Amino acid sequence: MKKQSPGFTLTELLVGMAIVSIGLTAAMPNIQRNMKQGEVDRFTQQLETGFFGLRAKLGQQKTSCTLEFKTSNINTFSSPKDLIEISSNPELLKCCDSDIGGCEFSPNIANAIINNFNNQASDSNQLTLDEELKIKRDRTLRILNKEGTAEAKQVEVAVNSGTYELTPPGTSTMANDLLVLVRSTNTTDQRLKTRCLRISGTGTIPQSVQCIIGMGHPQYRCLDTPQSRSRYVTVPVP
């Protein structure tokens, strides 16, 4: 007859469970840290994509815009909702061109273009409903293509300037680059990295040492240092 296996004893099972539990406990902080860092990285990518999209629209529409942030201290962090989302900051982005008929804040641009066109057109050449909807879709300007994302609720942002101008030719009239820092709302873990998005008027990618704000900690540099500055991305403005 085949000899049956005695299996595991209760002691062996308890020892095995203890080992697994210790392993999970040790790994959990790294898992949570990776999740938090992933939120920062994804939001930084969303922000970068948004600036490229804004750049493309301004180039196509020959529009000049000015960003007016509520804060201008690189060490003062706020939620994206409070600092860079148009829905809660309607006066963040002000743009000017001939279609608008002057200058308007971003939420009012489409209606200004529609009114400007209809006021100059004859009764038979008024914009149709479909044409008005197209203008509202195409002339919506914002920094983030999608606001209020899950990542946006888990990060904080800071900027180094209260004002930044964007022009269609691919340059900016501002002497200094715009830096946007993105960090996790969990500021207790010093191993989390803050991402630095650099918007350059010339489109050049400077050396890391050129992207320094202040001297040492707690000031921020776009370098690979814990919870202060890691990498930077340069986005040429229109």
Residue 2 included in any domain: no
Residue 170: per-residue pLDDT: 59
Give CA–CA dist 93/84, Å, rounded.
Answer: 9
Same domain, 108 and 223: no
Digit-coded pLDDT (tens) for 103-126:
999 999 999 999 988 988 888 889
**199's tokens:** 């918007």
Same domain, 227 and 128: no
Q: Are 138 and 186 found together in one domain?
A: no
The CATH number of the domain holding residue 178 is 3.55.40
Q: What pLDDT score was predicted for residue 92? A: 94
Task: Return the residue matching tokens 């991305």.
Answer: 233
Residue range of the domain that includes 75: 41-92+144-236
Tell me the C-alpha distance between 89 and 75, whole Å: 20
Segments of the chain scoring below 70 in pLDDT: 1-8, 12, 23-29, 169-171, 202-238
Number of domains in the chain: 2
* Residue 216, pLDDT score: 38
The whole-number pLDDT of residue 15 equals 75
Q: What pLDDT sits at residue 2? A: 54
Same domain, 69 and 108: no
Give the 3-state secondary structure of residue 171: coil
Find all residues with CB under 8 Å of 190, minimum gap 6, and list them: 226, 227
Same domain, 188 and 104: no
Q: CA dihedral defined by 109, 112, 113, 115, rounded to 10 degrees?
A: 160
* Sheet strand arrangement including 195-200: 155-159, 178-184, 195-200, 232-236
- At residue 211, the pLDDT reads 36
Spatial separation of the C-alpha atoms in residues 110 and 235, rounded to whole Å: 26
Identify the pLDDT of residue 105.
93
Residues 166 and 217 in one domain: yes
Q: Are 107 and 224 within one domain? A: no
pLDDT of amino acid 89 = 94
pLDDT at 43: 94
The answer on 138 and 152 residing in a single domain is no
Instruction: Give 200's Cβ-side CA count (13 Å radius).
Output: 15
